Amino acid sequence: MKYTDRLMFKTPNQEDFQRYFEINADPQTNLYNPYGAMSFEKAKSTFDALTDHWREHQFGFWAISEKENPDWVIGFGGLNYRLYGHVVKLNLGYRIDKDFWNKGYATEIGMHTIQYGFEELGQNQIFAVVRPDNLASIKVLEKCGLELFDELNDIPNQKNSLIFKIQKNIDNSGQP
């Protein structure tokens, strides 16, 4: 398990699926998702992919809880390998139950995840993709130090998604 000041991050297991479904089936948490809220079947297949990613890579999206209430999952977030067009990149993502919005949790998740990616996974770049009208998420990414890098035509007949990127600072000696 991993911790920040207020949050607890654990590897998700099948007991977390119900919360995953509840969060992802909520139209409000999917307001900027062009595919909308997830059906049970879609949530099951994406949750299975999430747990498969953990098995294959030993990292992925965590099930996240408040430290003071560790048995109640408030969201999912972390790093995964994601296809950006035709290129696989290390992707930062998160989705939080709407009852826990506006508490700074997305920023806390993002900062923790970036530190984990750089320090524990030894990565040098982390990317995030966001819909251009999701201003709250764009603000979170910018607070976490990511900068607009590119656009991605990933949704037919819609505006391009925005790709943000953060690069690990490495001095001339090659040491972080």
Q: Which residues pair with 130 in a beta bridge?
A: 162
- What pLDDT tens digit does each residue of the chain (176 aa) get? 999 999 999 999 999 999 999 999 999 999 998 889 999 999 999 999 999 999 999 999 999 999 999 999 999 999 999 999 899 999 999 999 999 999 999 999 999 999 999 999 999 999 999 999 999 999 999 999 999 999 999 888 889 999 999 999 876 555 55
Q: What domain range includes position 17?
A: 2-167
Pull the structure tokens for residue 95: 């989705």
**Residue 55 belongs to some domain of the structure:** yes
Q: Based on the structure, what is the number of domains in the chain?
A: 1
- Note whether residue 175 is domain-resident: no
CB-based burial label for 110 (10 Å; 0-12, 13-18, 19+): buried
Distance CA 83, CA 78 (A): 16
In a domain, 112, yes or no: yes
45/49 Cα distance (integer angstroms): 6
Q: Residue 26: give its domain's CATH number.
A: 3.40.630.30
